[in-house]
Structure 1
């Protein structure tokens, strides 16, 4: 009997030792390299924002962070890859505003952002400038709006594909301003911009103008953010201040994990993100390319924000019929 009792005590001690060995390993996350699947091509607003932030987050978390670009299919490819990953915090997703349009634009998609992802935090947002071809007989927002209303269906706007920020900005403008514009999707922003310069499309919403702004071939009209003016274009008015109240369409970037990721991992990621956003060097790099820090961070805010975006863009895209 005594021997049996000793054996039971030894087994219990071994089990306790096993649990105590497991718990520190969980608490020590991260213990290896983290991969962030970026639902954007290299050099795009989502990609650039991701890389600025991850440089700092890697230092805070004490592990390397690898960014893997997985563009295409409105973000569904990237979401699918992350959704199938282990919910252990080592495979994450950054994605732009397409995350809020998948239900409407890709009704047959096998992925569902709400079902498959755990929201972590918003990373940042980049406003856009509406630019029109120089042959469009307008000089400012007032004359542009008047011309668009007087010539329904004549003007066209382009973007780098369905669900992109430029697509959503144009569709939102159509609804809020009550104008009839025709949407023309392209495979990439450079292709759309080439046709803008060639006069084959009338306008485009862009997050960066580069040499376009000084080319003399286009006219900047307004900026797609509410509140104060955008730092890269301090002399250009916002749609909001020109009378289109509350008009805002940006390339907002968010960070997600697979559904089921432990709450403590999500908390550590949010803390690392907040540390990055508070860093002066990150802010300087954001300012250089026009990224605006989010109004709030964390999973609770992002969950509500995503819900609101899904509702907002579903209504916009259905009523403007810009889903084809």
Structure 2
């Protein structure tokens, strides 16, 4: 008893020492393992730069519900409206790169806003694209009494009556306005822009005859079907899943005028790749669900997953097109 008490370390067997060493080694490895397997361990926030109830917000909430079920943690939508999404982009850029804050926005926040607004935040520099998840097409609509049947006849009429025809938009610098300017630039038609405060009043004035045309982001479907507005073309090179019989710009031989509204997710720079990769996998699964497809369709949108490399290319191509358009057409947001 006495000799063992004087030399307690000697009483440890080789097996005990081996077990102690293994425990210490395991303890040093645990933090690295937990970093890759524990995410998420608390609620995840999706920041949306537009008010509740709009298309971006509704899509974000649909995805948040699916992600909550897939990740086992609450995914919340946090609305931070202002400056066409710039305020929300800034908030996410300043957030910790821990995988708990993401931006949900239309691609215009990166591809058009830098040419339209003065801001300290540059999404192409200050944020990391995660993936694209949805697309809306726009539709060239006319008041029902306008005597044209398609976009080709519209161009001919506009050229014969310079600046007489008008097109309404949801506001200067918005995607419907930029779609109108692309159409004017690519066709040489002379059409006067009238900005409104939102898509709904712009559409209302076209139905009422106060404006001739509108580039509609999918809110006019019931009015197209009822004949309150006339569908001249899908403002895209792709057929519409909602109006497959409608001619596209490609069908009409109109080139370089197409503009779809894409939506995506961005993260603060330096978020671990394993986090963004898992988020992408779960979102891609969610976008394939019939309930998600149906809810998107109600907004005039369609799920369209784009993995990170393809999303980066889309952003680069669209950014080049829109920055050039904004400069050439001298578009200024007051």
Give the superposition deviation at 1:152: 2.1
Distance 1:199 1:290 in 2: 24
Report the equivalent of 1:298.
307
Distance 2:172 2:119 in 1: 14
Report the equivalent of 1:7.
none
Higher alpha-carbon deviation: 118-127 or 13-22: 13-22
| Counterparts in 2 of 1:158 and 1:11: CA distance versus 1, 3 Å | farther
| Counterparts in 2 of 1:274 and 1:27: CA distance versus 1, 3 Å | same
| Counterparts in 2 of 1:223 and 1:153: CA distance versus 1, 3 Å | same
The answer to whether the Cα contact below 8 Å between 2:233 and 2:249 also exists between their aligned partners in 1 is yes
Aligned CA-pair RMSD: 2.8
Structure 1 gap ranges (5+): 4-9
Whether 1:223 and 2:245 are equivalent positions in the alignment is no
| Counterparts in 2 of 1:94 and 1:290: CA distance versus 1, 3 Å | same
TM-score after normalising by structure 2: 0.85
Report the equivalent of 1:189.
199
Structure 2 gap ranges (5+): 1-6, 9-19
Distance 1:62 1:92 in 2: 17
Aligned pairs, how many? 317
5 Å-filtered alignment, 1:26-45, equals 26-45=36-55
Distance 2:99 2:168 in 1: 37
Give the superposition deviation at 1:192: 1.9
Give the superposition deviation at 1:15: 8.6
Q: Secondary structure at the residue paired with 2:141?
A: strand
Report the equivalent of 1:166.
176
TM-score after normalising by structure 1: 0.87
The answer to whether the Cα contact below 8 Å between 1:127 and 1:223 also exists between their aligned partners in 2 is yes
1:72 alignment partner, one of 57, 65, 82: 82
The answer to whether the Cα contact below 8 Å between 1:183 and 1:322 also exists between their aligned partners in 2 is no
Distance 2:181 2:21 in 1: 66
Distance 1:66 1:190 in 2: 28
| Counterparts in 2 of 1:184 and 1:18: CA distance versus 1, 3 Å | farther
1:280 alignment partner, one of 269, 290, 294: 290
5 Å-filtered alignment, 1:246-265, equals 247-265=257-275
| Counterparts in 2 of 1:140 and 1:28: CA distance versus 1, 3 Å | same
Q: Who wins on radius of gyration, i.e. which is larger?
A: 2
